[in-house]
Amino acid sequence: MNVYSIVLYLHIVGALLLFVAMGIEFVAVSRLRSAGTAEQARDWLSVLGSIRVIGPVALVAILVPGLYMAATSAGWEGWNILALVAMVGMAALAGSNAARMPAIGRSIGPLRGPLPPEARARLRDRIMWSSILTRIGIGLGVVLLMTAKPDLVGSIVALVVFAAAGAAVAFATSGTAPGSTEPRGLERAS
Ligand code: HEM
């Protein structure tokens, strides 16, 4: 076991933690979308709190070893430069969800029992749903960059396709089924 393999191990642990954080956010956002009472909404909002710890730890564990490997042995190439760009995009999308949480928390805060329609509409915010699914798509795209190491153009195409696939899944599943007020699609499966 040499230094490189330890650094790569830490980098992969960071990547795993990133997917743990996105998995938690996916389940919490999907359950918030179908929450019927203030108590359910509060429970799922509190689950999101764990991401505030796991997310930054994952970010540091990916970036520090990733930058080290790129700077020392792997070299700067299209795939790792694009991975950095992808991480900035993912951070911006994560920030847009984080920025919505205080207002959602305040709107649920004093309520008890069944949620009023305005609160349910806020919990079904399509941007929140699109943000997490697009990030999962981008994250899977970055794993492809890391393993296949395409050139610059191939890396751009791969990231655009994966991000678009995540956004398309979000678009297809963000509405309500015809004749129903309940959300349809992926979020009901979690
Ligand atoms: C979402 C972000 C990222 C994820 C999920 C991720 C995931 C991975 C995975 C799974 C590997 C192992 C691939 C293999 O051994 O075949 C890897 C390797 C690597 N990653 Fe990342 N990575 C991310 C971001 C980055 C960034 C931003 C950089 C550069 C600044 C980077 C640089 C590297 C390097 C240099 C390797 C070693 C490649 C090799 O030795 O073959 N990664 N990454």
Q: What is 102-163 written as a DSSP string?
A: HHHHHHHTT--SBPPHHHHHHHT-HHHHHHHHHHHHHHHHHHHHHHH---HHHHHHHHHHHH
Q: Does residue 7 line the site of ligand 1, with CB under 6 A?
A: no
pLDDT score of 180: 55
d(CA 145, CA 131): 21
**How close is the Cα of 145 to the center of ligand 1, in Å?**
8
Does the pLDDT at position 178 exceed 80? no
Q: Does residue 70 line the site of ligand 1, with CB under 6 A?
A: yes
Q: Whose CA is nearest to atom 17 of ligand 1?
A: 146
pLDDT score of 1: 83
pLDDT score of 107: 87
Q: Does residue 87 line the site of ligand 1, with CB under 6 A?
A: yes
Q: Are 145 and 158 in contact (CB under 8 A)?
A: yes
Q: Provide the percentage of residues in the chain whose pLDDT is more than 70.
A: 92
Domain ranges for the chain, please list them.
Answer: 3-189
Q: Are 24 and 17 in contact (CB under 8 A)?
A: no
pLDDT in tens, 24-54: 999 999 999 999 999 999 999 999 988 999 9
Residues 6+ apart with CB under 8 A from 102: none
pLDDT score of 172: 93
| Mutation test residue for ligand 1: of 146, 149, 162, the one with most atoms within 8 Å of CB | 146
pLDDT score of 58: 97
pLDDT score of 175: 73
pLDDT band at 188 (very low <50, low <70, confident <90, very high): low
**How close is the Cα of 49 to the center of ligand 1, in Å?**
27
pTM of the model: 0.90
d(CA 42, CA 27): 14
Q: Does residue 66 line the site of ligand 1, with CB under 6 A?
A: yes
**How close is the Cα of 58 to the center of ligand 1, in Å?**
13
Closest CA to 190 of 69, 49, 73, 34: 34
Does the pLDDT at position 77 exceed 80? yes
Q: Whose CA is nearest to atom 14 of ligand 1?
A: 147
Grouping H, G, I as helix, E, B as strand and the rest as coil, residue 181 is coil
What's the mean per-residue pLDDT of the chain? 91
pLDDT band at 74 (very low <50, low <70, confident <90, very high): confident
Q: Does residue 14 line the site of ligand 1, with CB under 6 A?
A: no
Does the pLDDT at position 9 exceed 60? yes
In terms of pLDDT, which residue wins out, 142 or 116? 142
Closest ligand 1 atom to 83 CA: 27
Does the pLDDT at position 125 exceed 80? yes
pLDDT in tens, 78-121: 999 999 999 999 999 999 999 998 889 888 888 899 999 888 98
